[in-house]
Amino acid sequence: MKFFIDTANLAEIQEAYDLGVLDGVTTNPSLMAKEGITGEDQIRAHYKAICDIVDDKVSAEVISTDFEGMIREGKELAKIDDKIVVKIPMIKEGVKAIKHLHSEGIRTNCTLIFSAGQAILAAKAGATYVSPFIGRLDDISFDGLELIEQIVHIYQTYGFSTEVLAASIRHTMHLIKCAEIGADVATCPLKVITGLLNHPLTDKGLAQFLADHAKAAGK
Ligand code: E4P
């Protein structure tokens, strides 16, 4: 299973990278705005800075919602770095744009996926990734993890090469369940990745080991 970090914050990306477990980054317009990144030049420079930290995929989202605009933006984003994956929303024009970008060899991540039907469409259009949003489904009392399970099953049944990128992950149990279900990738905030480190018995055990060592050493 691959781990992506879901942020546009360079310090957080660096911290996850330094841990040695990071496979990529996802961003969205809200995350870029949170970092105060606006304007074409600043956005390009920020994506380049992200690509310079990580070894692999960086999802960069288009703002346009019309076919021509998405193609133009997608091509511009793809030129920034080989690691860029163009993030396209799950709308009618988006499906057409995914198909077109795929035919030109540009990787895409179809975002805002909330149903299995949408995931089938994106895969048929040639999306490299689909991003079903678990947390936002849970927020409205739909089981986000059930959707991941459904999509994994459908893709396996038909041999779709599109990868299931579980998104909108809110806590470590989401991440662990996604691993059990067989999601190809999980994108999460830094606190979810580092949250996997924690167990009170680890802390207690380590404190005991160190105390016993100190006692034996006469400290
Ligand atoms: C995915 O690519 C999205 O950026 C993200 O996971 C959305 O998560 P949120 O629901 O926490 O905003």
Ligand 1 atom with the smallest distance to the CA of 187 is 6
| Residue recorded with tokens 């806590």 | 171
Give the global pTM: 0.95
Predicted confidence at residue 208, as pLDDT, reads: 98
Predicted confidence at residue 218, as pLDDT, reads: 87
Asked if residue 120 lies in contact with residue 153, where contact means CB atoms within 8 angstroms, the answer is no
Q: Rounding to the nearest 10 degrees, give the CA dihedral for residues 82, 34, 69, 23.
A: 30
> Does ligand 1 have an atom closer than 6 angstroms to the CB of 133?
yes
Per-residue model confidence as pLDDT tens digits over 185-215:
999 999 999 999 999 999 999 999 999 999 9
pLDDT band at 6 (very low <50, low <70, confident <90, very high): very high
Task: Please report how the helices 172-181 and 144-158 are oriented relative to each other, as an axis angle in degrees rounded to 10.
Answer: 20
Q: Does ipTM exceed 0.90?
A: yes
> Does ligand 1 have an atom closer than 6 angstroms to the CB of 135?
yes
pLDDT band at 219 (very low <50, low <70, confident <90, very high): confident
Per-residue model confidence as pLDDT tens digits over 143-191:
999 999 999 999 999 999 999 999 999 999 999 999 999 999 999 999 9
- Residue in 70, 61, 66, 81 with CA at minimum distance from that of residue 187: 61
The full set of domains in the chain, from first to last, is 2-216 (3.20.20.70)
